[in-house]
A and B are shown apart, each in its own frame.
Chain A
C-alpha cells in the first residue's frame, strides 16, 4: 500500500522519513524522562492528600465533612508499577523501531550500543529532573524476568548438530577458558594493587579473595551481548556456535566461582578441601542443571502429546515448563541457564512433531518477541544504571582491568586452541582464533552479579562496579562496533544463506550410515557408533512415548521432506497462484524432463502435463475438488482476514501419512481423466481473465519462473463462484474427504498451448500483475483475491 503512495511522490516522502524518525526518538526520550519523575512525584502528593483528608475528618470530630463527588480524579499510585513497566517496554520497542528507520545508523553502530546510549540519555534526563533514578537493574528483576526469555530463545533454536559436533571444544573454552581468565585477572590485579608504594591508596586494602571474585565476575563471556552483536555480522556457523556455546556454558563456572569466592571472602582463607569441594560443586551445578532441564523437557514433550484437542494452549506449555525448569534450577543454586538450554533442546524435536503448525509459529514469534524486548530493556537499563550509580573511579584499577581482560582472553584462546587443534578434525585457523578472542564480550550479567555484592563484605564495591561497567562499555562499544569491519577485512567466512536441500539431507543421512558401517567394519566404537545407538534407542522407545499418533514412526528423511512440501505449499498460496522459487534460481525443468521417456501415448499434448509426482497430484486434485463444493456456499467476498475458522484442524503429519491410503482410492479416477476438468467459462468473463493471469503458459515460460520443485498451476475458472480456494485449509481438510466428485474439478491447463494468451495481454504485464504489486491498468477490475495477493 505504501508503495503506491510512494510511487506518486517518491523523493519528498522518502527523504523526510529518517528525519521524522529522529524527531520521534528525541520526543520519546523527553517524554519518558518527564513522565517517570512525574510519577514518582505524583504518588507522594496523593498520599499527602489522603492524609490531609483524614486528619481533617478526625479533627472536626462528629461533623461528617461531605466532599463533593469527584467527577475526575487522579490516582497514579494505584497503577504505578504496571504503568511504569509498560512505559519502559513501550520505550524500548519504540527505540528499536526508530533505529531501523534510520538506515545508515543501524549499519554502522550495533543496536546494543545505541540502546545503551538511549539508556544513558534517559538516566541523565531523570537525574536532571532531580528525581531519584529507579533501581531498574535490580538483580532480582534481571535474573528472574529479563534473562530467561533470551536464554530460552537461544536454547530452543539451538542448532543441535553443530553444537554436539563441537561440544568438546565449547566445553574446553567455557570451563578452562573461564577459569584461566578468572585467575589470571584476579591474581594479576591483586599483584598490581599491591605495588603502589609511592601513593598509598585504598587499593592496598584489597585482599586476594575479593580480587579473585572480581576476576570471576568480569571474565565470563555474556550470551546477551554476544547474541546482540553476532546476530548482525552473520558469521559462519562454526564460529558462531563456538562463541555462543561458550557464553552459555560458562554460566555454571561463573556460578560456582562466584559462590565459592563470596563464601570464602568472609572467612578469608581457602583450604585444599574447599577447592576439592568447589570442583565437586561445579560438577553438581552443571550436571544438575542439565538434568533438571531435561526432566522438564521430557515432561513438556509428554504433555504435548495430548494437546490435540486444545491446540490453543500448546505454546503455553512450552513457555511455562521452561520457565519452571529455570526457577527450579535457581532454587537449588544450580545453573539456571544450562537448565533452560537443556529443557529447550530436549523438548524441541518431540514437541514440534506433536503441535500444530500455528502453535509452532506462535512459539517462534513469542520467543523472538520476548527475547527482543528483554534484550532491548537490558541494554537501556545498563545505560540508566550507569548514570545513577555512585561511581568510584580509580584510574589504575580500571585501566588495568580492561587491559588484563583483553590480554587474558587472547592468551587463553590461543593457548587452548593449540591444545584443541590436536584433537579436532576441522582445525581452527588463526583468523578463527582472532574472531573467537575478539568476540568475548561482557554484558549485563557481569553487572548484575557485581550489583549483588554486599557492601559490608566488599567496601570497594563501587570501584568494582565502575570497573565492570567500563569493561562492558569497552567491549560492547569498541569491540562491538569494530567487529563487523574486521570480519569484512579478514574475509572471514560468512553464514551460508542457502537453504537445506533435499539432496543434502539425503546424503547427510547416507553419510551417517556409511560412517557407522565403516566404523563397525574397523571394529572400534567411535562416536558415529554411539550416535547411531542413541538414534535407534530414540526411535524405538522415546519417540513412541512422547510423540502422538503415527508421527512417532515417521523417519527423519520423510519428516524433512514433508516440511519442505509444506513450505512450498505456503509459498504457492502466498504468491497467489503464480510460481515462486524457493531457491532463487529460475529454471524450466519440470518432472517430465527427468521421467524416462515413455512410449508415445494417444494424446501426447495433454500428456506433456504432469508437473508433480502422482501422489501429490491426486491429493491436490482431491482437495480442490472437494472444496470447490464448499466454496460455493461460503462468503461472497474473499478476504484472507475473514476466513472461517477451521475447527477441524488436524495434524498435518497424520494427514500426509493417511494420504498414502487415499492413493489407492484415487486410481479409478486417474484412469478416467488425466487431468481435472471443469466446464470452461466464456472467455471474456473477469473470472476467465483472472484465471488466465494465474495459469498463463506464456507467463510461465517467458518469466522463466522457477520450478525446481513440483508446482501446480490452478485455473480457478468457474462459472458460478467467484470465490477462490484457500489452499492451506484444503491440505488440512484433505484427511477427511472421502467422496469423489468426478464431474467437478479444476482444470490444469497443459503448458504448451501457445495461442491461449489472448492477444491483448502482454506477457510482461502479466508478470507484473502476478509478482509485483505496482500500479497497472489491469487492476481496475480486481477481484478481492488478487488484490490480497498483490497487497503482500
Chain B
C-alpha cells in the first residue's frame, strides 16, 4: 500500500511539471479518471459517452473526439487513439487551465496560442491544416443541432457568411477567380483575437475532492 502510494505520488509529481497542475488537482482528476474508467488504466470513447450530463450537449462528439486526438498531446503525432491513459487525459485537461497573477505576457500569449490550437484542431477534422467551408458548415450545423429544426439552410448561410468574413478580414484583395482554400491557423488567430482566449477558455479545477463534497465548491 505504502509503496504504491509513493510510486503514484512520484508519477504525479512528474505530471505536475509537465502539465502545470498542482498535486491536489492531479489527485482529484485521478479519482475522477478512475471513476470514469471503472478503475482501469485507460478510458475509451464509450466511457466518456456514458456520462449522463453530456447527453444534452450539441457538440458532444467533438469534445469526446478531442480527448482522443493525438494532436492535442503536443507530440507532433496525428491521428486518433482508441484509448487514452491518465497522462493523456491530463494533457488535454491542461488546455483549460486559467492564467495566474504571476503569468507574464509572453506566457499569456503562449497560453492563448495553445488554447486556440486546441479549438482549431477540433474544427479541422481532416487534419490538413485548414478549416474548409465544409468543415465550418459542419461546426455550425452541430451547434444548431440541438436547437430544433430550423433547417440546414440557416446553418449553411451562417457558415458562409462567417467564412466570407474571415476571408475578407485576412485577405482583403482577392481577384474574382481566386479561391480561398480555408481558414489557416494564423487567420483563425486573427479573427478570434478579440475574444481573449486565455481568460475565457478555462474551468476552475478543484483543490478539494468532489467525490466527498456534493456541491463542488471550487477554490482554484
Q: Which residues of A contact B165 (CB under 8 A)?
A: 501-503, 708-709
A507 touches B195 (CB 8 A): yes
B150 touches A657 (CB 8 A): yes
When each residue 83-110 of chain B gets 1 if its CB lies under 8 Å from chain A and 0 otherwise, what string results? 0000000000100101101000000000
List the A side residues contacting B54 at CB < 8 Å.
Answer: 517, 520-521
Instruction: Mark contacts of A731-771 with chain B using CB atoms, 8 A cut-off: 1 yes-contact digit, 0 otherwise.
Output: 00000000000000000000110000000000000000000
Contact A526 B168 (CB under 8 A): no
Are A506 and B205 also in contact (CB < 8 A) when A521-B51, A523-B210, A594-B167 are? no
Q: B166, A503: Cβ atoms under 8 Å? A: yes
Residues of A within 8 A of B210 (CB): 523-524
Q: How far is the CA of A226 from the CA of B4 in the complex (A)?
A: 61
A586: chain B residues within 8 A (beta carbon):
172
Instruction: Check A663 for interface membership: any CB of B closer than 8 A.
Output: yes
Instruction: Kindly name the residue among A504, A510, A595 whose own CB sees the greatest number of chain B CB atoms within 10 A.
Output: A510
B96 to A515, Cβ gap below 8 A? yes
Question: Does B195 contact A557, Cβ atoms closer than 8 Å?
Answer: no
Contacts A509-B143, A589-B168: A525 and B215 contacting too (C-beta < 8 A)?
A: yes
**B96 nearest in chain A by CB position:** A518
Q: Is the CB of A555 within 8 A of B147?
A: yes
Chain B 176-216: CB-based contact to A (< 8 A → 1; otherwise 0): 10111000000000011011000111111110001100011
A516 contacts partner chain B, Cβ-Cβ < 8 Å: yes
- Given known pairs A425-B98, A520-B54, A613-B160, the reply for A593 and B144 (CB within 8 Å) is no
Which of B7-15, B58-66, B68-76 interfaces with chain A?
B58-66
Task: Write the A473-512 contact mask toward B (1 if CB under 8 angstroms, else 0).
Answer: 0000000000000000000000010100111101111110
In the assembled complex, A587 has its CB within 8 A of some CB on chain B: yes
Which residue of B is nearest A656, CB measured? B154
Please name all residues of chain A whose beta carbon is closer than 8 Å to the beta carbon of B32 when the two chains form the complex: 522-523
Q: Are B194 and A593 in contact (CB under 8 A)?
A: no
Are the C-beta atoms of B153 and A516 separated by less than 8 Å? Answer: no
Given contacts A514-B59, A517-B59, contact A616 B168 (CB under 8 A): no
Distance in Å: Cβ of B24 to nearest Cβ of chain A: 14
Residue B81 at the chain A interface, CB threshold 8 Å: no
B203 proximity list for chain A (CB < 8 A): 515, 518-519, 522, 526, 528
B119 on interface, CB distance cutoff 8 Å:
yes
Chain A residues in 8 Å Cβ range of B2: none
Interface contact B53-A558, CB-CB below 8 Å: no
Residue B171 is within 8 A (CB to CB) of chain A in the complex: yes
Query: Per-residue 0/1 for B129-162: is the Cβ within 8 Å of any A Cβ (1 yes, 0 no)?
Result: 0001100000110011001101101101110111
A657 and B180 alpha carbons, distance in the complex (Å): 30
Query: Considering only CB atoms, which chain A residue lies closest to B217 in the complex?
Result: A524
* Cβ contact within 8 Å between B164 and A594: yes
Tell whether A130 is near chain B: CB-to-CB under 8 Å.
Answer: no
Chain B residue with the shortest CB-CB distance to A520: B53
- B163 is an interface residue with CB less than 8 A from chain A: yes
Which residues of the other chain, B, contact A616 by a CB distance below 8 angstroms?
Answer: 157
Residues of B within 8 Å of A, CB-based: how many?
73
Known A502-B165, A596-B179; judge A425-B148 contact (CB<8 A): no
Tell whether B127 is near chain A: CB-to-CB under 8 Å: no
Chain A residue at smallest Cβ distance from B172: A587
A536-B171 Cα distance, complex, nearest whole Å? 39
Closest to B197 in A: A511
User: A775 CB to closest chain B CB, in angstroms?
Assistant: 32
B158 to chain A: which residues have CB within 8 Å? 502, 506, 557-558, 561
Closest beta carbon of chain B to A513's beta carbon, Å: 5
How many residues on chain A are close to B (CB under 8 Å)? Answer: 71
Q: Is there an interface contact between B173 and A587, defined as CB atoms closer than 8 Å?
A: yes
B59 touches A510 (CB 8 A): yes
Which residue from A504, A516, A589 sits with its C-beta under 8 Å from B171?
A589
In the bound complex, residues from chain A placing their C-beta under 8 Å from that of B164 are 589-591, 594, 708-710
Min distance, Cβ A532 to any Cβ of chain B, angstroms: 8
B169 interface contact, C-beta 8 A:
yes
Give the residues from 28 to 58 in chain B that come closer than 8 angstroms, CB to CB, to chain A: 29, 32, 35-36, 48, 51, 53-54, 56-58
Question: Is B80 located at the chain interface by the 8 A CB criterion?
Answer: no
B residues near A706, Cβ cutoff 8 Å: 168
- The chain A residue with its CB closest to the CB of B122 is A514
Chain B nearest CB from A739 CB (Å) reads 22
A421 at the interface (CB under 8 A from B): yes
B173 touches A498 (CB 8 A): no
> Which of chain A's residues have a CB closer than 8 A to the CB of B147?
539, 553, 555, 557-558
How far is it, in angstroms, between the C-alpha of A706 and the C-alpha of B101 when the chains are bound? 42
Complex: chain A residue closest to B167, CB-CB? A589
Whether the Cβ atoms of B176 and A555 lie closer than 8 Å is no
Q: CB distance B216 to A585 under 8 Å? A: no
For A591, list chain B residues within 8 Å (CB). Answer: 160, 164
Q: Does B3 contact A (CB under 8 A)?
A: no
**Contact between A516 and B57 (Cβ–Cβ < 8 Å)?**
yes
In the complex, A613 Cα to B137 Cα: how many Å? Answer: 13
A514 touches B63 (CB 8 A): yes
- Residues of chain A contacted by B143 (CB below 8 angstroms): 506, 509-510, 513, 557
**One of A496, A520, A608 near B176 (C-beta < 8 A):** A608
Q: How far is the CB of A275 from chain B (nearest CB, A)?
A: 28
Task: Using known A-B contacts A513-B143, A555-B144, determine if residue A585 contacts B172 with beta carbons closer than 8 Å.
Answer: yes
Contacting residues, chain B, for A710 (C-beta < 8 A): 160-161, 164
A596, B163: Cα distance in complex, Å: 12
Q: Does A262 contact B (CB under 8 A)?
A: no
Nearest CB in chain B: distance from A699 CB, A: 16
For the complex, is A531 an interface residue (Cβ under 8 Å from B)?
no
The CA-CA distance from A594 to B157 in the complex, in Å, is: 13
Within 8 Å CB of A592, what residues of B? 176
User: Does any Cβ of A come within 8 Å of B1's Cβ?
Assistant: no
Q: What B residues does A496 contact at CB under 8 A?
A: 194
A506 touches B204 (CB 8 A): no
Residue of A nearest to B175 (CB): A588
Q: In the complex, which of the residues A511, A523, A587 contacts B168, with contact meaning CB atoms closer than 8 Å? A: A587
B174 contact from A514, A589, A597, Cβ within 8 A:
A589
Closest to A592 in B: B176
Q: How far is the CB of B177 from chain A (nearest CB, A)?
A: 8
A707 on the B face (CB < 8 A): yes
Inter-chain contacts of A425 with B (CB < 8 A): 98-99, 199, 202
Please report the C-alpha to C-alpha distance between residue A504 and residue B98 in the assembled complex, in whole angstroms.
20
Residues on A with C-beta less than 8 A from B161 are 502, 561, 564, 613, 709-710
Chain A neighbourhood of B29, CB < 8 A: 522
B34 to chain A, nearest CB (A): 11
Asked if B195 and A593 sit within 8 Å, CB to CB, the answer is: no
Q: Is the CB of B99 within 8 A of A421?
A: no
CA gap between A510 and B66 in the complex, in Å: 14
Residues in B with CB closer than 8 Å to A752 are 176
Neighbour of A708 across the interface among B98, B169, B218, CB < 8 A = B169
In the complex, how many angstroms separate the beta carbon of A414 from the nearest chain B beta carbon?
15
Decide: B172 and A555 in contact? CB cutoff 8 A: no
Contacts of B179 on A, CB cut-off 8 Å? 593-594, 596-597
* Chain B residues whose CB sits within 8 angstroms of the CB of A507 once the complex forms: 119, 192, 195
Which residues on B sit within 8 Å (CB–CB) of A510?
A: 59, 119, 139, 143
Q: Is the CB of A501 within 8 A of B191?
A: yes
Residues of A within 8 A of B156 (CB): 613
With both beta carbons as reference points, the residue of chain B lying nearest to A421 in the complex is identified as B101
Complex partner residue of A557 from B60, B101, B144, B172, CB under 8 angstroms: B144
Give which listed residue, B53, B58, B163, B191, contacts A594 with CB less than 8 A. B163
Docked complex Cα distance between A616 and B160 (Å) = 12
**Top 3 A-B pairs ranked by shortest CB distance?**
A555-B147, A524-B216, A587-B168
Can you report 14 residue pairs joining A to B where beta carbons are below 8 Å apart? A421-B101, A501-B165, A507-B119, A509-B143, A513-B143, A517-B57, A523-B32, A555-B147, A555-B148, A558-B158, A591-B164, A594-B160, A594-B163, A708-B165
Other 4 A-B pairs with CB < 8 A, given A501-B165, A511-B119, A592-B176: A510-B119, A523-B35, A663-B153, A709-B165
